[in-house]
Structure formats: structure tokens, C-alpha cells
Amino acid sequence: MKRCIIVRARVEGWHKWPEAPVHRAYLRQLHHHYFRVEFEIEVKDEGREIEFHDFRKMVKAAFERAWVGNQTGSCETLARTVGEHIEEAYPGRWWSCRVWEDSECGARVESE
């Protein structure tokens, strides 16, 4: 049986997509989003081994760390990078990270 906890964090930010196709050229310029990060991680038991509030703070910090200098990164890139940062603290655990733009469009990356 796999047990997981799930946290969500909201981060305001700006990004751009320099390679956007012509019909979406407006995305080439910096534009605003409220990013929502959802992170799910495997836990060993049901005794709150990883505390929700502390973990949410960690995920938000990992997103902000992934975000610095990467304002052209896709949701997939940001989700992978957040996962890699969390893996440093919790190696060998299954995880899944979703990054949403304005709670409408997003991507999911999960560990092997």
C-alpha cells in the first residue's frame, strides 16, 4: 500500500515563452500568472511522519528556488526542478509534482 501526503502552494510570478508560435506571440512577452504547485510525496506510515505545514513551506521554497533565473521554464521544467529539490531532502521516495498556471493549464512530473 502506498501512502502519500499532498500539499498545495500558490506563488505569484511572471514568465515568458520566447519560442511561442506566431498565433500566440503575446506569450513571448513577460506575463503574469498565479502558479499553483501541488506536490504529493510517499510517506512511510500514517503518523504524519512529514508534517503538512512544514512540507508545504518546503515545497513553496523549492518552487521559488526553481523559479529564480528560470522565467522561461515550462510548467514541466518547473515541476521537475521542484521534485529534484524535494528529492534532496527525501531521497528514494516516490513523488508527483503539478504546476498550474492560473489553475487552468498545467503539467505533471513524477519520479520513477
Q: What is the DSSP track for 48-112?
A: -SS-HHHHHHHHHHHHHHHHTT-TT--HHHHHHHHHHHHHHHSTT--EEEEEEETTTEEEEEE--
Would you state the pLDDT for residue 15?
A: 85
Q: Which fold has domain 3-110?
A: Tetrahydropterin Synthase; Chain A (3.30.479)
Would you state the pLDDT for residue 14?
A: 85
Domain residues of the chain, as ranges?
3-110
Would you state the pLDDT for residue 41?
A: 98
- How many Å apart are CA 33 and CA 13, to the nearest integer? 6
Q: Per-block average pLDDT, block size 10, for the chain (112 residues)?
A: 94 87 93 94 92 96 81 86 96 97 95 90
Give residue 24's Cα distance to chain centre. 24
Would you state the pLDDT for residue 36?
A: 96
Q: Are 37 and 8 in contact (CB under 8 A)?
A: yes
